[in-house]
Structure 1
Amino acid sequence: MHNAIFNIPRPVNEPVLAYAPGSREKAALEAALKEARSRQVEIPMYIGERTVHTDKKIRLSPPHDHAHVLGYASEGTAEHVQQAIDAALAARGAWAALPWSDRAAVFLKAADLLAGPYRWKMNAATMLGQSKNAFQAEIDSACELIDFLRFNAAFYQEIIQEQPVSSPGVWNKMEYRPLEGFVFALTPFNFTAIAGNLPASAALMGNVVVWKPSNTQIYAAHVIMEIFREAGLPDGVINLIYVDGPTAGDVIFKHPDFAGIHFTGSTGVFQNIWKTIGENIHLYRSYPRIVGETGGKDFVIAHKSADAKAVAVGLVRGAFEYQGQKCSAASRAYIPSNLWEEVKTYMLEDLATVKVGPTEDFSNFVNAVIDEKAFDKISGYITRAQAHTDAEIIAGGKFDKSKGYFIDPTVIVTADPLYETMQEEIFGPVLSIYVYDESKWEETLKLVDSTSPYALTGAVFARDRFAVHQATQLLENSAGNFYINDKPTGAVVGQQPFGGARASGTNDKAGSKLNLLRWVNARTIKETFVAPVDYRYPFLG
């Protein structure tokens, strides 16, 4: 039995490898890419102790080379969803009873496996399956997921060490139990780290999970599951299924043991899920935890005192890394009239050197968008802007899906601050810019706050400290992650807990213990050492 208080190894952020020419890591990653390209894989679902293959298959191809087949995943049915729930509930008792340090050890080992022998395989899977370049894959599928696994374990220890005070003759204790039932993890295509963290964070806290990734992320999700299993995760704790959303929802949201959802995806889907849970609230054993990070229409606003070059680099990186397919990507910018020509010159100079193409060519900064549906939606915005009198495309505007879903980084300048691309989430390599009168700083801050229903990320560029302070105050509710003189992307686990409010989600801050607190059910225990033996209080005398 345990008779000691164990301390989690102090986490530090995983170093990001550079993949410079001639480096060991570049050679290893190129070999992993070649290996993955050379064969087709059959990817099963993981339900309890079974790996489940079905006759109906999901074709997996690189977005930048959609004729190539990486493999096939077995598509499930409503029956498989029910089996996954049953397997999770069957595993719950033993997993919840396992000492917290043993559960943490599973995910700490998974972090080391990912940092070591699985790093190249995971990054290659993300590069091929989701069309991320080497650097974007490294900071996501390797470093961020490693950080989630390590920091979450440390946050868990912080949580359980938080105990109430006790008065004389009384010992007060707080225990943090898993939720009563199962958690549904619904994960997106754009971040492998999110796909791993959403089921893992809930499982770390003693919960059992049914995990449904986006179909366009299955290729890397399978590698995550391989790592978890090798790390010693017991069967049934996380059950990985590939079904369409309505099929999963119809079973899960009607189940009495549904205890919570951990979600990242679109605002519309999340709002529909919330509505469905509300309609079914009478069915559940307890009130489900609803945790979601949804969309963004993330802004950059520059003050007249800003450094024009810093603004231009922040926009190019913030808007076009990973093709703008980040919830945090810079999508709308407000540039003062005194800086606009200089900012524009720097941006156009940089964009003229940006290469677009497949991820296997490490010189490409921009790669393909995720699928044809996304391509058609994004290119539609560009086509409409090309024909609109209030919009001017000053960079990009080209797109081609003959081999891959390629869209050039596109910059739209509009005279209308409420033009559609200034308001609507595009989720692609399109940046819209409104040039404002440099004397109308405060009015423009109010415009930034009121233009979009989202409140995920935002950035202010300014040398003037009064301007920085004013922007920070007036945009208090406009962004859950706010950046000063930096692009509005790139939150680091343990440094910038991530999440936004308004239409951007529940702001439960992944990468902090705030998120983990959502996956426990606290119980207060009061023990009185010498119990009263007379009901009478002194005032009765």
Structure 2
Amino acid sequence: MSFGLFNAPTPANEPVKEYRPNSPERGSLKNALAEFRAQETDIPMYIGGKEIRTDRKFRVAPPHDHHHTLGYFYEGDAKHVEQAIESCLAAKEAWANLPWEQRASIFLKAADLIAGPYRAILNAATMLGQSKNAYQAEIDSACELIDFLRFNVHYATEIYQQQPNSSPGVWNRLEYRPLEGFVFALTPFNFTAIAGNLPTSAALMGNTVIWKPAYSQVLSAKVIMDVLNEAGLPAGVINLIYVDGPVAGDIIFNHSDFAGIHFTGSTGVFQQIWGTIGANIHKYKSYPRIVGETGGKDFVLVHESASAEEVATGLVRGAFEYQGQKCSAASRAYIPSTLWPAVEAMMKQFLSELKMGGTEDFSNFINAVIDERAFKKITAYIAEAILNDQVQLIAGGNYDSSKGYFIEPTVLKVNDPRYRTMCEEIFGPVLSVYIYEPGEFDSMVEVINSTSPYALTGSIFAKDRYVIEQVSKQLQNAAGNFYINDKPTGAVVGQQPFGGARASGTNDKAGSALNLYRWVSARTIKETFVSPKRYEYPFLEAE
């Protein structure tokens, strides 16, 4: 029971630490890295507040040093999925009935724990388990996750405060109930913040959740659960399982209490899930909420009025930070012939200066791709392109998996704007560029709009304001996040709500109230203070 209308603390974006040499944060992070390196972490599942271990142990290794063992996680099976569902349903009533400010306090405490004592631990787990350098880990697993937790509480407060008008003699109210049933959070490897946000955002609104992370993200997932447990999250609210996807899906998507899925991953998997839910729609108590952010083939359109230096910097950062393994990574660029020589020269210079190697060496800008499967997929694109006489290798093109899954930042110049590397999502450090004549600019806008099925992010580099306005309008449906004179990556919670449409997802904008609305089911309550005692209306009276 609440005895007041409470204002949550006003959120502000968590400051990004720089990890300069001899700084306190650099020392703390190096110590945390050394501790993870020196031990083999035990990574259980968490169901109903209990640690669950099985006889199926899977080894966890750094992608940049796959001979080293970081620890082991325990894979579950169908019975563990069923246990997680039972745990969700058992915990649901108490959690849903807990006053919203009590739920909010748990996640605000979790944010402070990550900002303080867990910051180096969570960053180190991300650096080692997912091969992110210190800066990329900091902006992801520390700052963005902290921001998600704090801003979501702020947005939840705004939602609960939105109430209807009432006419004389009537009091109208809106309840924002959690969904009836349980929510399934299926999270990716590439952002620890996303992995933390998908289950916690639904839980904040009173839902209980089954969380299945990518196997390549389980080390940092365990740290997130440690944080939530220390923050006081009740048993059964979020149940963390490591189960093969089809096994989990077969049980979850056939259960009558399945209420929704919060997903980030591939377009193909999401479309398959959507089809399964549609086929099973008659089995559910209610229509499940389907929220997903999927793939991208993110573009950079360059006008001849742009600055070559700004373009080169935006492309190198946008395409190659975190090895291009961001849904928003710059993957295709359209550059005028008048600007290309300068852009090419600067990009080559920048790329020649980048170091590649393990994350523990803070001088490395480029680290490894996530696993062998990704390595083989990405390098197959590169190998095919090098053999194609319509493609010119501008930079990179080399790769080696003997110690880690390393792929050089690779730039391809294509003669056909619809060559496959300009159309298909690669999810790696490969940037394809098409050089057009300045007079063809308008046609390039249409090429961008029609080349790819995706619509996640995109950007325009130009100084001409008329061009910026033109492109913003013509490509309004080609990118859910559109950037002007900037790389198409780096959305900040509370500043640039993130998500795309078309084949890129449902565009429910993580990091905004729009996303939280998806995890509530509103109930309207009308109370009449003095009820009528006769059926007649005045119009029935005689003349």
Structural mapping, 1:159-174, within 5 Å: 159-174=159-174
Secondary structure of 1:333's counterpart equals: strand
Q: Deviations over 1:439-477 (max 9, x none)?
A: 111111011110000000000000000000001001010
Is residue 2:221 matched to residue 1:221? Answer: yes
> 2:239 maps to what in 1?
239
Corresponding letter in the other structure for 1:506: T
Is residue 2:158 matched to residue 1:158? Answer: yes
The 4+ residue runs of structure 1 with deviation greater than 6 A are none
Query: For residues 156 and 50 of structure 2, what CA distance do their matches in structure 1 show?
Result: 30
Corresponding letter in the other structure for 2:261: I
- How many residues are aligned here? 541
Q: Deviations over 1:86-120 (max 9, x none)?
A: 00100000000000000000000000000000000
Query: For residues 239 and 203 of structure 2, what CA distance do their matches in structure 1 show?
Result: 11
> 1:482 maps to what in 2?
482
Q: Deviations over 1:384-427 (max 9, x none)?
A: 01100111111000000000000000000001000010000000
> 1:351 maps to what in 2?
351
> 2:256 maps to what in 1?
256
Structural mapping, 1:123-202, within 5 Å: 123-202=123-202
Query: For residues 345 and 288 of structure 1, what CA distance do their matches in structure 2 show?
Result: 52
Q: Deviations over 1:246-296 (max 9, x none)?
A: 000000000000000000000000000000000000000000000000000
Query: For residues 116 and 342 of structure 2, what CA distance do their matches in structure 1 show?
Result: 45
Q: Deviations over 1:57-82 (max 9, x none)?
A: 11100000000000000100000000
Structural mapping, 1:439-478, within 5 Å: 439-478=439-478
Secondary structure of 2:439's counterpart equals: coil
> 1:411 maps to what in 2?
411
> 1:272 maps to what in 2?
272
Corresponding letter in the other structure for 2:260: G
Query: For residues 534 and 388 of structure 1, what CA distance do their matches in structure 2 show?
Result: 85
Is residue 2:355 matched to residue 1:360? Answer: no
Query: For residues 49 and 123 of structure 2, what CA distance do their matches in structure 1 show?
Result: 27
Q: Deviations over 1:163-204 (max 9, x none)?
A: 001111111100100000000000000000000000000000
Is residue 2:285 matched to residue 1:285? Answer: yes
Secondary structure of 1:235's counterpart equals: coil
Q: Deviations over 1:25-66 (max 9, x none)?
A: 101100000000000011110000311010101110000000
> 1:54 maps to what in 2?
54
> 1:502 maps to what in 2?
502
Query: For residues 140 and 335 of structure 2, what CA distance do their matches in structure 1 show?
Result: 30
Query: For residues 53 and 79 of structure 2, what CA distance do their matches in structure 1 show?
Result: 13
> 2:381 maps to what in 1?
381
Secondary structure of 1:4's counterpart equals: coil
Query: For residues 517 and 390 of structure 1, what CA distance do their matches in structure 2 show?
Result: 48
> 1:70 maps to what in 2?
70
> 2:491 maps to what in 1?
491
Is residue 2:517 matched to residue 1:517? Answer: yes
Corresponding letter in the other structure for 2:503: A
Secondary structure of 1:352's counterpart equals: helix
Query: For residues 6 and 113 of structure 1, what CA distance do their matches in structure 2 show?
Result: 22
Corresponding letter in the other structure for 1:176: Y
Report the CA distance between 1:3 and its aligned residue. 2.1
Structural mapping, 1:384-403, within 5 Å: 384-403=384-403
Query: For residues 129 and 401 of structure 2, what CA distance do their matches in structure 1 show?
Result: 16
> 1:529 maps to what in 2?
529
Query: For residues 330 and 3 of structure 1, what CA distance do their matches in structure 2 show?
Result: 50
Query: With structure 2 as the length reference, what TM-score do the two structures score?
Result: 0.99
Query: For residues 533 and 478 of structure 2, what CA distance do their matches in structure 1 show?
Result: 58
Structural mapping, 1:307-322, within 5 Å: 307-322=307-322
> 1:42 maps to what in 2?
42
Corresponding letter in the other structure for 1:497: P
Corresponding letter in the other structure for 2:300: V
Secondary structure of 1:510's counterpart equals: coil
Q: Deviations over 1:112-157 (max 9, x none)?
A: 0000000000000000000000000000000000000000000000
Corresponding letter in the other structure for 1:23: S
> 2:30 maps to what in 1?
30
> 1:103 maps to what in 2?
103
Query: For residues 491 and 269 of structure 2, what CA distance do their matches in structure 1 show?
Result: 24
Query: For residues 2 and 410 of structure 2, what CA distance do their matches in structure 1 show?
Result: 59
> 1:370 maps to what in 2?
370
Query: With structure 1 as the length reference, what TM-score do the two structures score?
Result: 1.00
Query: For residues 445 and 129 of structure 1, what CA distance do their matches in structure 2 show?
Result: 39
Report the CA distance between 1:479 and its aligned residue. 0.1
Query: For residues 512 and 235 of structure 2, what CA distance do their matches in structure 1 show?
Result: 27
Query: For residues 163 and 389 of structure 2, what CA distance do their matches in structure 1 show?
Result: 62
Query: For residues 452 and 523 of structure 1, what CA distance do their matches in structure 2 show?
Result: 40
Corresponding letter in the other structure for 2:474: L
> For structure 2, which runs of at least 5 residues remain unmatched after alignment?
none
Corresponding letter in the other structure for 1:213: P
Query: For residues 235 and 2 of structure 1, what CA distance do their matches in structure 2 show?
Result: 22
> 1:209 maps to what in 2?
209
Is residue 2:12 matched to residue 1:9? Answer: no
Query: For residues 299 and 4 of structure 1, what CA distance do their matches in structure 2 show?
Result: 49
Corresponding letter in the other structure for 2:200: A
Query: For residues 202 and 450 of structure 2, what CA distance do their matches in structure 1 show?
Result: 35
